[in-house]
Amino acid sequence: MSAQSRREIWIAATVALVLLGVMPALNAWVPESSFFFISNFTINVWGKYLAYGILAISVDLLWGYTGLLSLGQALFFSLGGYMLGMHLMLMIGKLGQYKSDLPDFLVFLGHTYLPAFWRPFYSLTFAAVMVFLLPMTISAVFGLLAFRSRIKGVYFSILTQALTYGASLMFFRNDMLMGGNNGFTDFKFMLGSDLRSAATQRVLYIFTGIVLLGVYFGCRWLTRTKFGLVQRAIRDSETRVLFSGYSAVQYKLFVFVISAAIAAVGGALYVAQVGIINPSEMTPDKSLEAVVWVAVGGRGTLVGPIVGAVLVNALKSWATHAIPDLWLILLGSLFLVVVLFLPKGIISIPSVLLDFYKRRIKRPEPAEPTPVTTSSAL
């Protein structure tokens, strides 16, 4: 293991320790009056950020590493959330507004019995399997069709956008029996423990952190194998990869399905902590927002997306409170600046500054080649 690699692991471990050890500990054992106390609110919000981090990695795996800008990640994220949400809805039992076994929204619409496709979701195992299965199936079918007919570049983005848009329209319909515009909310229990209690929230938070860590190391491993190399080759020039005798379709399909699964896990964890899922999470705009996190953090790295997700969302939490009118302008401009001037995101700031310093102060180096980006050159 190289020294650099070792250092990276050290840093990851420190951050993980702070986020997964220190913060929950301060939340659980420090008295509320203390300066070091971390509120349940903070834990909960950070849990959301970390779930977003998982989504960001899935975007980056596709975009930063394979050159596929998918605007469908919000769809897979929400589908994961919906699958777990169905189980959680059934777990509310008779504690809803109507004191009925059926989820509230079904009673609302005058249903008297549970539709057949809802029934298996009484089992958490089934729901957990579906969290993976449904998004992976959809991505596999869609990916196979798209990649086989060699749809790439912006066409892929626009098609995934259409897919997401169509799906959100579908989920908005009350006839879909998935809660319509309101979606699912008011969850009470998971595995018998109260979802609203601080202890459960803490456990979920730690669990999300561990999953994020796992996804991070999994992707780190994947991108450093030969597979990862081909992946990046596809990003830089798909034609050359094809000429070298690789079947780009299979590689792309594999990555697409894997990132759908990653996004779905993120979605499931998000729903368990935030307690709401509805179709507005599924719109193409949400996908684009996730792309913003990755772009801001730094694409083509695995740390970047996580940093971006946390940073942009923290900024959002702050800005929607402090300067609500200017929030969208801030987000939009941030994005513009990053795309135009910092193509590698904020985590490249130190190295950019260092380069600048080296060039200016020490001796002029030959100009850096323009950063390699996506393949299509329309």
341-370 residues in contact with other proteins (CB under 8 A) are 343, 347-351, 354
Q: Which stretch binds other proteins (CB under 8 A): 130-138, 168-176, 202-210, 245-253?
A: 168-176
Nearer to other proteins, 129 or 236 (CB): 236
- Which of 117, 166, 221, 229 lies at the binding interface for other proteins (CB under 8 A)? 166
Nearer to other proteins, 129 or 336 (CB): 336
Q: Which stretch binds other proteins (CB under 8 A): 125-133, 161-169, 217-225, 359-367?
A: 161-169
Nearer to other proteins, 170 or 210 (CB): 170
- Which of 123, 214, 320, 358 lies at the binding interface for other proteins (CB under 8 A)? 320
Interface of this chain with other proteins, residues 111 to 130, rule: CB under 8 A: 111-112
Nearer to other proteins, 58 or 313 (CB): 313
Under the binding rule (CB under 8 A), the answer on residue 66 touching other proteins is: no
Smallest gap, in angstroms, from Cβ of residue 36 to other proteins? 8
Query: How far apart are alpha carbons 268 and 291 in whole angstroms?
Result: 19
Smallest gap, in angstroms, from Cβ of residue 218 to other proteins? 17
Nearer to other proteins, 254 or 285 (CB): 285
Interface of this chain with other proteins, residues 171 to 210, rule: CB under 8 A: 172-175, 180-183, 185-187, 196
Rg, Å, the chain Cα set: 22
The token duo for 36 is 């070091």
Under the binding rule (CB under 8 A), the answer on residue 257 touching other proteins is: no
Q: What is each CA distance from 290 to 103, 129, 301, in whole angstroms?
A: 31, 25, 15
Smallest gap, in angstroms, from Cβ of residue 368 to other proteins? 16
Under the binding rule (CB under 8 A), the answer on residue 328 touching other proteins is: yes
- Which of 124, 134, 203, 274 lies at the binding interface for other proteins (CB under 8 A)? 274
- CB proximity list for 235: less than 8 A, separation 6 or greater: 65, 66, 67, 374, 375
Interface of this chain with other proteins, residues 78 to 107, rule: CB under 8 A: 97-98, 105
- Which of 27, 58, 70, 157 lies at the binding interface for other proteins (CB under 8 A)? 157
Query: How far apart are alpha carbons 252 and 264 in whole angstroms?
Result: 18
Give Cα 201 to chain centroid, integer Å.
Answer: 19
- Which of 123, 137, 244, 333 lies at the binding interface for other proteins (CB under 8 A)? 333
Q: Which stretch binds other proteins (CB under 8 A): 1-9, 122-130, 205-213, 217-225?
A: 1-9
Under the binding rule (CB under 8 A), the answer on residue 25 touching other proteins is: no
Smallest gap, in angstroms, from Cβ of residue 41 to other proteins? 4
Q: What is each CA distance from 300 to 9, 49, 127, 148, 195, in whole angstroms?
A: 18, 20, 32, 25, 36
Under the binding rule (CB under 8 A), the answer on residue 163 touching other proteins is: yes
- CB proximity list for 24: less than 8 A, separation 6 or greater: 43, 202, 205, 206
Nearer to other proteins, 73 or 348 (CB): 348
DSSP bridge partners of 184: 277
Smallest gap, in angstroms, from Cβ of residue 334 to other proteins? 8
- Which of 272, 292, 309, 312 lies at the binding interface for other proteins (CB under 8 A)? 292
Residue with tokens 């964890």: 269
Under the binding rule (CB under 8 A), the answer on residue 276 touching other proteins is: yes
